[in-house]
Amino acid sequence: MADKGTLFIDEINNMPMSVQPKLLRVLQEREIERIGGNKDISVDVRVIAATNEDLQELIYENRFREDLYYRLNVIEIEVPTLRARLEDIEDLVTEKIKELNIELGADVERATAPAVNFLKKYNWPGNVRQLHNVVERAMNFSKGKELTKEDFQVAMTGTCAVGEKTKTKMIQSGRSSIEEARNNAEKQLIEDTLKMCGNNKTKTAECLDIARPLLYQKMKRLGIKT
């Protein structure tokens, strides 16, 4: 129970309309009733709610209660999307690496400067959660103590911005070795990007943020023909 503490409700915009009156009652009466119980219990709790949609628009669409909105909206803090604060990416990656080193028993020291610059060029529709996921995947592919641009390119297999368009594919897991999985993922990324760029090698290299000679080397090594 969060009595005398703080309760964080993430993505409250997804809370069903049938549940919203119950939360409103808790906020108004400062009382709850345990499942299966028949006695009201007083609680003293601070509620922090997060949303990734405009709640006022949801009110207009009859998807969120107006009275609950005003009960919650005592202090509003707007957090910009990750693509609006790209300067935070390096710090976010560094902190996630530290966290994953403990969780995974890894020994990664940092992401290289080219890797960070590569991440700053992506628009991050999934915000910080997506960035954290990409860092974890990159650490699983990395061979050294630094996460390189190539590690992130493989981790983001099939994700490459071309103008305003993005394309995403998931890495398929199997029994192959990490090296084989890495090569397969890299090959898929290059093939997908070539297709999106109409087999234009110059545009493909720009999209992948690598030099054109390096693209040719990778295509030869991976057996990619156009």
Within 13 Å and on the Cβ side, how many CA atoms surround 121? Answer: 19
Bridge partners of 48? Answer: 8
Q: What's the pLDDT band for 140 if we cut at 50, 70, 90?
A: confident
Query: Two tokens at 67?
Result: 């009275």
187-225, pLDDT tens digit by residue?
888 887 787 777 888 888 877 777 888 888 889 889 998
Place of tokens 């966290």: 99
* pTM of this structure: 0.57
Answer CATH for 158-226 from 3.40.50.1360, 3.40.50.720, 1.10.8.60, 1.10.10.60: 1.10.10.60
Highest mean pLDDT among 2-11, 35-44, 91-100, 126-135: 91-100
Contact between residue 122 and residue 155 where contact means Cβ atoms under 8 Å apart: no
The mean pLDDT of 173-191, rounded to a whole number, is 71
Beta bridge partners of 124: none
Q: Kindly report, residue by residue over 36-72, the tens digit of the pLDDT.
A: 778 888 888 889 999 988 999 999 999 999 999 999 9
CA separation, residue 60 to residues 134, 149, 188 (Å): 36, 44, 44
CA 64 from chain centre, in angstroms, equals 25
d(CA 107, CA 1): 37
Token readout for 118 is 């590569």
Domain locations in the chain as residue ranges? 6-72, 81-156, 158-226
| pLDDT over 80 (residue 112) | yes
Q: Is the pLDDT at 181 greater than 70, yes or no? A: yes
Given a contact cutoff of 8 angstroms between Cβ atoms, the answer to whether 27 and 72 are in contact is yes
Count of C-beta atoms within a 10 Å radius of residue 224: 15
Topology (CATH) of 81-156 = Helicase, Ruva Protein; domain 3 (1.10.8)
Quick one: which of 134, 202, 127, 125 has its CA closest to 167? 125
- CATH (one of 3.40.50.720, 3.40.50.300, 1.20.1050.10, 2.60.120.20) for 6-72: 3.40.50.300
Answer whether residue 165 shows pLDDT above 70. no
